[in-house]
Amino acid sequence: MNGEQEQGRFKYVLFDVDGTLIDAVSNQRRVWASWAERYGLDADEVYRVALRTRPMETFAEVAPGHDARECLAVLHALEDEDVRTGVYGAFDGAADLLHALYAGTWALVTSNYEHRVRGRFQRTGLPLPEVIVDAAAVEEGKPSPVPYLRAAGLLGAVPEECLVIEDAPSGVRSGLAAGMTVWGVNTASAVDGVHRHFTGLREAVPHILAALPGPQRALRPQAS
């Protein structure tokens, strides 16, 4: 589908957070390295596993002799400390894009926890939406369609009205399984299944705004 056909096609936009709006790769690597050090494990190997599995699955693979609940508690403590003290950056274009959106037309759908998302957004100066679907809000996380369907329901939307912005394969599969259009950002090559691909978020901004109702197509001037 070309850009002209997409103009004004969607009423809502649903964003992943880490890797899509917030650049947290170095933070995640540092947290997992600290976690690995606690258990005397190789940090590079732990991070390699963590990139493709959920935390409990990671623990089962790299630290099978340890209590998974204890491992998770340690990880959560390290993540919370990183939110308080780590350095975060928003991807280029994120602030302009989010400030241009009207309340009630967008949501965050994250595998993280809401208090960490709020902390990161406050640190980077990004606005927060009314709807945030986090790991605690659903029983099934990405790549299940449940998180994106939950966000759509809270917005009063149907899947066909929603545009999903993602960077990771599990998130892309989640949006597709929910019956939504998915655009990929911040990856050198397109993730399997995306309807459109942009190497950077900044490149995607005008296209996202053009795909929403008319008044949101122009960036609003930012306060000085």
Active site residue 16: yes
What single letter denotes the amino acid at residue 16? D
For strand 181-185 and strand 12-15, is the pairing parallel, antiparallel, or unpaired? unpaired
User: Out of 18, 82, 134, 167, which one is annotated catalytic?
Assistant: 18
> Distance (Å, rounded) from C-alpha 33 to C-alpha 41?
9
Query: What amino acid occupies position 72?
Result: L
Q: How far is CA 148 from the centre of its chain?
A: 11
Which of 133, 106, 56, 90 lies closest to 216, judged by CA? 106
Q: Is 18 considered catalytic here? A: yes
Please give the positions annotated as active site. Answer: 16, 18
